[in-house]
Amino acid sequence: MKRIYIAGCGGMLGQAFQKVFSREAELRCTDKDVNEAWLAPLDFRDFDHYRKEVEDFRPDALFHLGAHTDLEYCERHVEDTYLTNTLAVENAVAIANRLDIPLLYISTAGIVDGLQQEYDDWDSPNPLGHYARSKYAGERHVLQHARRPMVCRAGWMMGGGPRKDKKFIAKLMRQIQAGRTELAVVGDKLGTPTYTFDFAENVKALLQTEFWGVYNMVCEGATSRVEVAQELVNVIGEQDRVRIRVVDSSHFSQEYFAPRPDSERLINRKLALRGLNLMRDWRVSLREYVDQAWSGATHQEQVSV
């Protein structure tokens, strides 16, 4: 794959994909939010514009990365959620099939119902809220209708650094950098982190094999929100100053009201069986992420972004 079109490339995952795949391929990276010099503008919900953009570039593969990932936004803006997370994916399938090229779609561990302790690639999801339903609908359409589909399910995403990380690690880091000495963390949510660069590298290896289908792709080591927070505090050397206070999800029920599974732990069973599981232990990836993306940031950057 010498030419790759990446739609929805402006976020934390897109940053990793741009760095990993630009080493060997010519990229066309687009997003509605043009926040990098290497990005061009595109709203992939506009089918005609999306189709023309991809056809003019003549890529060897289409990567569809973007989505609404804020669960509360999705509950408040249902129509926009399905327009962005589902119908736009159908646009991507139509474009990829028209050009007869592979399509990469990013799915999520959030599509499971949380009733099991862990889920492999063949367990049946049962999405709980509009974010999960919209993403699962996109996943199913890709698998059923794309000629060469690659669906990769990510877990609790970490990456992007102070500018782009809006997830759990960034929220904790900003509190710590602001001088907070106690962090309230839910003790009733289980999952598996996913480092964006490990994810991009594993996608690259998988695409080279042309084993199409759906794959769980998360860091090794099932964990919890509390354990991740404790490890982060240790990594940055603040274990003597910062205390983790364990709460249950009702503590944040007003702020985070969208339904979430109690367990969204994924197992990379298919990757392992194919000998293609490159995902490292989440603790190793967390340390690398913090060392590379956060240690060099100024106090003001970490507090204000």
pLDDT in tens, 131-179: 999 999 999 999 999 999 999 999 999 999 999 998 999 999 999 999 9
- pTM of the predicted protein model: 0.93
Average pLDDT for the chain: 93
What's the CATH code of the domain at 90? Answer: 3.40.50.720
Using only C-alpha atoms, the chain has a radius of gyration, in whole angstroms, of 19
Residue 57 within any structural domain of the chain: yes
DSSP 3-state of 40: strand
Query: For residue 238, is it within any domain?
Result: no
Residue 301: the pLDDT is 40
214: domain range? 3-160+193-222+263-281
- DSSP letters spanning 249-288: GGGGTTTS-S---SB--B--HHHHHTT---PPBHHHHHHH
Report if residue 170 sits inside a domain. no
Does residue 141 fall inside a structural domain?
yes
Parts of the chain with a pLDDT under 50: 297-305
Q: Is residue 235 part of a domain?
A: no
Q: Which amino acid is at 256?
A: Y
**Contact by Cβ (8 Å): 11, 161:** no
Tally: H helices and E strands in the chain: 13, 13
Please choose, from the candidates 305, 295, 288, the residue with its C-alpha nearest in 3D space to the C-alpha of residue 197.
288
Do residues 83 and 45 make contact, with C-beta atoms less than 8 angstroms apart? yes
248 lies in a domain?
Answer: no
| CA gap 153, 303 in Å, rounded | 31
Q: What is the number of domains present in the chain? A: 1
Give pLDDT, residue 296: 60
Q: Give pLDDT, residue 299.
A: 38
